[in-house]
């Protein structure tokens, strides 16, 4: 799915930025994967150092959606690795935003999917299945709701309560 330029979105949607319907995430995320620019409707997960639900969600058809994972900002393990990056590509997810870490960076960078994360960490996470799906999450200084739209490119990440048009 082609993505609108985030800088242009900000320029043309000042009123929506002011009233909070469009929000810009803090510039804290690193870029991974082959898709520098991506967009789509959001699916949210809230987990902490446990990626069982991440795999569970990525095993379902993505249909151009973006998985937003609130990992609590933990940098003690990775929530997404190369196998999950490949799964996201195969299941046609547009992208993954991780408020936490990834691993297998070279493998993820070979995947045709957009990934943003705080950084990389070589340790894998737990797999207990603890967490919540489809709940509001706080990522990059903003609350993101299931069903909102996320737009990412080289300039940053923008979240909107609804799909924006060119």
**CA dist., res. 136 & res. 65, Å (int):** 16
Distance of CA 29 to the CA centre of its chain: 10
Contacts of 42 (CB under 8 A, 6+ apart): 65, 66, 68, 144, 145, 146, 147, 148, 149, 150, 159
Q: Does 82 count as an annotated binding residue?
A: yes
Q: Which of 83, 98, 99, 93 is nearest to 113 (CA)?
A: 93
Q: Does 109 count as an annotated binding residue?
A: no
Q: Does 64 count as an annotated binding residue?
A: no
Is-contact 150 130, C-beta < 8 A?
Answer: no
Q: How many CA atoms lie within 13 A of 88 on its CB side?
A: 30
Which residues are documented as binding site for Mg(2+)?
A: 104
**Which residues sit in the known binding site for substrate?**
81-84, 103
Numbered residues of the known binding site: 81-84, 103-104
């Amino acid at each position: 799915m082609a993505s609108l330029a985030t800088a242009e979105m900000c320029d043309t949607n000042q009123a929506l930025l002011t009233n909070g319907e469009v929000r810009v995430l803090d510039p804290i995320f690193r870029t991974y994967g082959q898709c520098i620019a991506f967009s789509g409707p959001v699916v949210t997960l809230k987990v902490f150092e446990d990626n069982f639900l991440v795999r569970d969600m990525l095993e379902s058809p993505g249909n151009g959606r973006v998985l937003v994972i609130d990992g609590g900002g933990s940098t003690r393990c990775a929530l997404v690795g190369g196998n999950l990056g490949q799964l996201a590509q195969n299941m046609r997810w547009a992208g993954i935003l991780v408020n936490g870490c990834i691993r297998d960076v070279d493998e993820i960078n070979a995947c045709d999917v957009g990934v943003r994360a705080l950084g990389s960490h070589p340790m894998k996470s737990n797999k207990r299945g603890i967490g919540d799906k489809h709940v509001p999450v706080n990522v990059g200084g903003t609350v993101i709701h299931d069903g909102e739209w996320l737009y990412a490119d080289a300039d940053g990440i923008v979240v909107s309560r609804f799909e924006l048009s060119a």
